[in-house]
Structure 1
Amino acid sequence: MSGAQGFSLPIKVVEAGGISAWLVEDHAVPVVSVSWAWRGGAALDPAGQEGAAVMAAALLTEGAGPLPATAFADALRDQAIGLSFSAARDDFEGGFRTLVPALPEAVRLSALAMSEPRLDEEAVTRVRARAVAAARRTLETPGGQARRAFWAEAFPDHPAGRPSGGTPESLTALPPDAIRAALARQVRREGLLVTAAGAITERELADLLPRLFAGLPAGAPPATPPLPPFRRFGQKVVPVDAPQSSALFGQPGLAVDDPDWEAAQVMIRVLAGGGFASRLMQSVREKRGLAYGIGANLDTLFKQAVIVGSVATENARVAETLAVTREEWARMAAEGPTDEEMADAVAYLTGSLPLQFTDSRRVSDALLALRQNDRPPEWLAGRPARLAALGRERVAAVAKRLLAPAELSVVVAGQPVGL
């Protein structure tokens, strides 16, 4: 690694057993992290079986092969191995972090979890109860109601519009066979994206890959349905009996491979992503005291980004808060950022980049995110120069291209006054 202006990582590409992996080798600490993912996740759940992928991921560490849940957990704990799996809207991920002496055991237990999951009745019952409770808690808050309604309105005929973790109803009715089917279609030998970081050589990683994944069934997961255009839906109120309302607001963004990706990141940081320095925070909180916090970012799904923001405030202040938000949206679309705002945003995005790579797990996960967005290995090294080359005019043009204040879609959950 080097200074922020010339920050880069020595990414090596390792091929073995038909699998390609990215590696950042670093022997400063005797720790190895390996991350992997398949495209799919909750997007592959059949209608009515929402939550199958999320439950399947949770159950992979609840016993495997001859080891029931407690014995499997003890085996991980005894070697200080951190192993986890998760499913999101459009991917299914796994990964472990381990000390070098425990690396063979980490590989063995990870491979066993993926190739021979037990799905014991007791474990399924426990994981289901936890998932149902989480889904119910989400619906008990205005923020949870707003998020669910926003995505359902934006993508009504696509898996992106469904709760990726399932609903209390879908989780309760989910049969064990549906969980097994989720694993069967998702956890495959092909379609893998793999990254590694830490005290491991190229040769050692090449030897590890077949042992980690060879026991999986051949083939790749099914393709996910392409994301349709964001459906603008105006303003929707979800009645919730609460003293505060939560609002989600958003609009279409751009593809992750769009040439203006970095310009859009700079624009969003100035408008809504820069903490107290952002225009929305200044106008909504600092000048008017309408809300404790407000912000927006580029939410990436299916290799597309949606501009999504949120705010929570008293019911009586919702209308004014949204009016101010639209004003700032319009001002950015019309004028773009100032030179000073540009300089501050570029400096932050450049200077904060190395903070994403402070340990082996973060390095491995960050590399995986790059692969999931189809970035080439050299993309990271070129990012500081691309940011530095941005001019105010280009960012202003991107703001004008992307931001549509009159068509900003908003969901408010609560009892807002005047809407």
Structure 2
Amino acid sequence: MAARACMVGAGLVMYTHSAWALLPIQHWTEPSGARVWLVESPAIPMVDVQVDFDAGARRDPARQAGLASAVGMMTSKGVRAAGKEKALDENALGEAWADLGASFDAGAERDGFVYSMRSLTDTELLGKASALAARQIGEPAFPQDVWKRERSRWEAAIKEANTKPGTVASKAFAAAVYGDHPYGYQATQETLDRIQVSDLQAFHGKYVQTCRARVSIVGALNQEQARQLVRTLLSRLPEKKAGDCAALPEIAPVQPLAKAVDENIAFQSAQAHVLIGQPGIKRGNPDFLAILVGNHILGGGGFTSRLTSEVREKRGLSYSVGSGFSPGLDAGAFVVGLQTRPDQAAQAVAVSREVVKKFVEEGPTEEELRAAKDNLIGGFALRIDSNRKLLGNVVNIAWNDLPLDYLEHWTDRVQALTTRDIRDAFQRMLQPDRMVTVQVGAKQ
């Protein structure tokens, strides 16, 4: 089977998909309550699937930070026996996927718990791959000895990471920006030691339910074939109807900062690590595209950005500097990041703050906006030039309840933005006088 998959896959590079953005997205809800988004892409005999649940790291209990990630990690470590089917350990699972020439992954992101599968659509291969995936989704074994081993490895990795200035800066920044919100939780040896196999099982049972699934599919399947695939993938979960799905607990929103926070952490390092920022916006915020384009101008556009020009090019204060924002189901952080010599960290911080302040007050110039639009619109095709990238866009639509025609009108919406739109959006998102600034390894 693996050999057949490789032979078919070798021919896939001969196809191009310039019209992918025009392919319609089909959407429906299964009787189980699972919601499905499908893009039929018949040019290559392959399918990419992602199954999402509202069960990411933001659902971790504070005392057990890392729980969702632990469940994701342990999904590949074995499935339990069921009926005439024997249990499979992690080695047997790996061999089974290799034999099929397919792949399967699971993991926890900040907001969602994600299963993803890639397979050829050959009837026999896809049938076996989806059945195996169903066992991992619905019947993970969570072996006690393996969890103890993986937990020890994880704890050792945390200890090693904590010796790096970048890790220290990131943790301090997250704690200051998010406070006690789950977005700021950090897995530690103590929180991991509190996670037992029974906790993994309980988390999986509570959140991974058919009625909560959002399934995104891109590939050479029609709607009927996609329906069958979805039903197979979720078939090992307990049967529930949509009306049987109790609402999940509400999570308090990320709170805006009441005042500026400055932390200067002593650390023996050749470079000072600097992070400046505050809570940003949710992904569903109408300002999203204006912020995306504006951030490209401010610090996300590499060598063409204002921060690079002012901090790096004009003053030589940092080899690289940039800004980004991470919107999710709640307000992920906006952040400016740079590394510099310890003795010039204070100057780099002052210049970076001033650049952000001026951008918030005045917005971009017409020339900057035109260049950003040309760059982003010109590169739009690269966002959808493979099944996997297109799947990522469909997942974005599914997860954030965006319109089904979102991709079709993306370039038009970007083109319509004005300098005032961007200035106003940044003024709604940022308060330059109330930002967190973390410096690690700067000269005291």
After TM superposition, the score normalised by the length of structure 2 is: 0.88
Specify the code of the residue in structure 2 equivalent to 1:69.
E
Residue in structure 1 matching 2:26, options 12, 29, 52: 12
Separation in 1, partners of 2:28, 2:138? 23
Greater CA drift, 251-260 or 112-121? 251-260
Instruction: Quote the Cα distance in structure 2 between the aligned partners of 1:247 and 1:136.
Output: 21
Number of corresponding residues = 413
Structure 2 unmatched runs, 5+: 1-16, 81-86
Q: Is the 8 A contact 1:40 1:224 kept in 2?
A: no
Structure 1 residues 354 and 148: alpha-carbon distance in aligned structure 2, compared to 1, 3 A threshold: same
Contact 2:51/2:213 (<8 A) preserved: yes
Distance 1:119 1:36 in 2: 20
SS for the counterpart of 1:177 is helix
Whole-angstrom distance in 2 between the partners of 1:255 and 1:300: 5
C-alpha distance in structure 1 between counterparts of 2:252 and 2:376, whole Å:
30
Partner of 1:34: 49
| Aligned counterparts of 1:100 and 1:3: Cα–Cα separation in 2 | 21
In the alignment, is the contact (CA less than 8 A) between 1:246 and 1:311 conserved in 2? Answer: yes
Give the alignment partner of residue 212 of structure 1, picking from 210, 233, 236. Answer: 233
Say if 2:303 and 2:309, in contact at 8 Å, map to a contact too. Answer: yes
Q: Distance in 2 between matches of 1:316 and 1:371?
A: 47
2:36 to 7, 16, 21: 21
For the 8 Å contact 2:50–2:395, the answer to whether it is kept is yes
How far did residue 241 of structure 1 move?
A: 2.2
The structure 1 residue matched to 2:63, chosen from 22, 29, 48, is 48
- CA deviation map 1:124-149 (0-9, x unaligned): 13322332233223312111111111
Q: Which residue of 2 aligns with 1:348?
A: 375
| Residue 8 of structure 2: aligned partner | none
Question: Superposition pairs for residues 300-339 of structure 1, below 5 Å?
Answer: 300-339=327-366
Does 2:372 correspond to 1:357? no
Does residue 124 (structure 1) correspond to residue 147 (structure 2)? The answer is: yes
Is the contact made by 1:146 and 1:411 (CA closer than 8 Å) also made in structure 2? yes
How far apart, CA to CA, are the structure 2 residues paired with 1:199 and 1:136?
45
Output aligned runs, 1:202-351, within 5 Å.
Answer: 202-217=223-238, 218=240, 219=245, 222-231=248-257, 232-351=259-378
**Could you tell me which residue of structure 2 aligns to residue 104 of structure 1?**
127
Checking the alignment, whether the CA contact within 8 Å between 1:294 and 1:311 is kept in structure 2 is yes
CA distance in 2, matches of 1:86, 1:50: 15
What whole-Å deviation, never above 9, does each CA across 1:69-114 have from its counterpart, x for those lacking one? 1111110111111100110222111110111222111211111012
1:150 equivalent in structure 2: 173
Residues 23 and 39, structure 2, Cα contact 8 Å, conserved in 1: yes
- Does 2:77 match 1:62? yes
Secondary structure at the counterpart of residue 323 of structure 2:
strand
Question: 1:392 corresponds to which letter in structure 2?
Answer: T
- How big is the shift at 1:238? 2.4
Q: Is the 8 A contact 2:38 2:217 kept in 1?
A: yes
CA distance in 2, matches of 1:112, 1:227: 35
The residue type paired with residue 200 of structure 2 is: I
How far did residue 117 of structure 1 move?
A: 0.8
* Rounded Cα–Cα distance in structure 2 between residues aligned with 1:313 and 1:134: 26
Deviation at 1:3, TM superposition (A): 7.4
Equivalent residue for 1:86? Answer: 107
Deviation at 1:242, TM superposition (A): 1.6
CA distance in 2, matches of 1:213, 1:328: 50
Over 3 Å counting, the alpha-carbon distance change for 1:170 and 1:254 in structure 2 is closer
Cα distance in structure 1, aligned partners of 2:403 and 2:160:
40
Counterpart residue number, 2:97: 76
Alignment check: 8 A CA contact 2:176 2:261 kept: no
Deviations along 1:169-204, one digit per CA (max 9) or x if unpaired, are: 222342222222221222111221110011111110
Structure 1: which 5+ runs fail to align?
A: none
User: TM-score, normalised to structure 1's length?
Assistant: 0.93
More displaced, 172-181 or 101-110?
A: 172-181
What amino acid maps onto 2:346 in structure 1?
Answer: A
Question: Which of 168, 185, 190 matches 1:162?
Answer: 185
Find the partner of 1:201 among 215, 222, 225. 222
User: Does structure 1 conserve the Cα–Cα contact (< 8 Å) formed by 2:322 and 2:336?
Assistant: yes
